[in-house]
Amino acid sequence: MSAAALRRATKESVSGLPRAFWWLWASTLVNRLGAFVATYTALYLTLERGYSASYAGLVAALHGLGGVVSSLGAGVMADRLGRRPTLLIAQVSTALSVALLGFMEHPAAIAAVACLVGMTSNASRPAVQAMMADIVRPEDRVRAFALNYWAINLGFAISSAAAGLVAEYSYLAGFLGEAALTLLCAVLVFVKLPESRPERDTAARRSNEPETGLGTVLRDGRYMGVVGLSFLISLVFMQGSVGLPVAMGLDGWSPSDYGFVIAVNGVLIVALQIPVTRLIEHRDPQRLLVVSALLAGYGFGLTAFAGSLGVYALTVCVWTLAEIVNSPTQMGLVVRLSPVHGRGRYQGVYTMSWSAAALIAPLMAGYVIDHFGAAWLWGSCAVIGTVAALGYWLLMRALPPASPTAETPSPDSAVPAAAEPSERSEKTGA
């Protein structure tokens, strides 16, 4: 590709998105640049503090449990208080709890604060996703979610390398560094991001139209089907960070070998997320989700036959492609099925599926590997991926195509003018 063609492709990928989106994108990047706790807590507990691997696994599970607990409450806050206040509360609380974790000494205190970190760090996700849906035009949302996911992985890739150097000097410096960058995120939100929560229109208030509650979300069968499928896919994808390192270690591979293999995931996402999204953003989401579920399941399934680093890296390529396709496509589907005035709650329930997977995936990997062997874990991933693909196919057969939208927010505004017709129909149960 020539330099001119590359510039043109880049411009097409980033053009047309509102200014508020880019400030939200910047806050995501800064947040992920400080992702020390998620990357190095297990090493901190086992190498620095001398705790067992079982205790480290328990702390990881409690971190996931905290996310499950906070997801629903944060979704309600995003709808009631607004996206901006929820983000500020979550990010300031995350900074304080992460800094506190670095000073904890007693095992029970470490476990409790890790659960608190899980609660606070996951509380911002429903607000971020709801705000992104508020400020970006429907036809641009898949691209916007892909760009945000790209920022997450770019920041994580940089932070993983930097955090390794920091950890050699001081684990406490890593905790405090993450706290400082999270506070910087809060400052960005406070200074640059206006509130984006759509106001209920006069007609809805006059007719006493009931507000969307958590019960509304839980009774939405199609949406809860998407949440369930998201949980299954999350169980599979998370084996890259919980099952894969354990299995490679049992096969005699070193931590640096695992680091090389998993680095393929980050490199591919950074390199391919934007161009792949340009190819798929207007294609049939049902087909994309079915194919991505199969690629995820069988990509991990192929790990059972890996006998060299090259084959391990090849399997990572397969399921990374699934991740690149699945993430923005599924987020676009989630927004499409969410009523405008209930986006926070709907996003909270969706976020809960990932948090629940973060809780279950380590337990699942440990149990299956200990009792049956790693090959059974990879076979289970293939089965789960197949079930998810079938679920996407069945769930979306009767899903009507997205309607043309009347929602046209100004590039400089964070508040959409109106709900798109498909979202209004979903709110009334159509």
The mean pLDDT value of the chain amounts to 82
Give residue 430's pLDDT: 27
**10 Å Cβ neighbour count for 145?**
24
Give residue 393's pLDDT: 94
C-alpha to C-alpha distances, 105 to 112, 113, 264, nearest whole angstrom: 12, 11, 35
**pLDDT tens for each residue of 99-128:** 999 999 899 999 999 999 989 988 888 888
The token pair that represents 360 in the structure block: 């279950």
Give residue 230's pLDDT: 94
Distance CA 149, CA 276 (A): 13
Q: Give the residue carrying structure tokens 């206006």.
A: 194
Select the more confidently predicted residue: 307 or 36.
307
Residue 361 in this model has a pLDDT that exceeds 60: yes
- Beta-carbon contacts of residue 319 (< 8 Å; ≥ 6 apart): 236, 237, 240, 295, 296, 299, 300
> Can you tell me the mean pLDDT for 207-217?
68
> Can you tell me the mean pLDDT for 406-413?
42
Distance CA 181, CA 135 (A): 24
Give residue 170's pLDDT: 83
Of the chain, the percentage scoring pLDDT greater than 70 comes to 85
Q: What pTM does this model have?
A: 0.76
Residue 322 in this model has a pLDDT that exceeds 90: yes
Residue 203 in this model has a pLDDT that exceeds 80: no
- Beta-carbon contacts of residue 417 (< 8 Å; ≥ 6 apart): 406, 407, 408, 409
Give residue 202's pLDDT: 47
CA angle 315, 262, 39 (to 5 degrees): 145
Q: Give the residue carrying structure tokens 């499950």.
A: 68
Give residue 5's pLDDT: 57
Lowest-confidence region among 152-166, 375-389, 416-430: 416-430
Distance CA 400, CA 417 (A): 23
Distance CA 247, CA 177 (A): 31
Distance CA 27, CA 131 (A): 13
Give residue 313's pLDDT: 93
**pLDDT tens for each residue of 62-94:** 888 888 888 888 888 988 899 999 999 999 999
**pLDDT tens for each residue of 243-299:** 888 888 888 888 778 878 888 888 898 888 888 888 887 788 889 999 999 999 999
- Beta-carbon contacts of residue 396 (< 8 Å; ≥ 6 apart): 285, 286, 289, 333
The token pair that represents 320 in the structure block: 């990374």
Residue 417 in this model has a pLDDT that exceeds 60: no
> Can you tell me the mean pLDDT for 139-145?
85
Residue 204 in this model has a pLDDT that exceeds 60: no
Lowest-confidence region among 32-41, 57-66, 76-85, 317-326: 32-41
Give residue 2's pLDDT: 56
Give residue 426's pLDDT: 32
**pLDDT tens for each residue of 5-24:** 556 656 666 777 899 899 99
Give residue 421's pLDDT: 33
The token pair that represents 76 in the structure block: 């309600």
* Polymer length of the chain: 430
Confidence of residue 428 (pLDDT cuts 50, 70, 90): very low
**pLDDT tens for each residue of 164-197:** 677 777 888 888 988 999 999 999 888 988 888 8
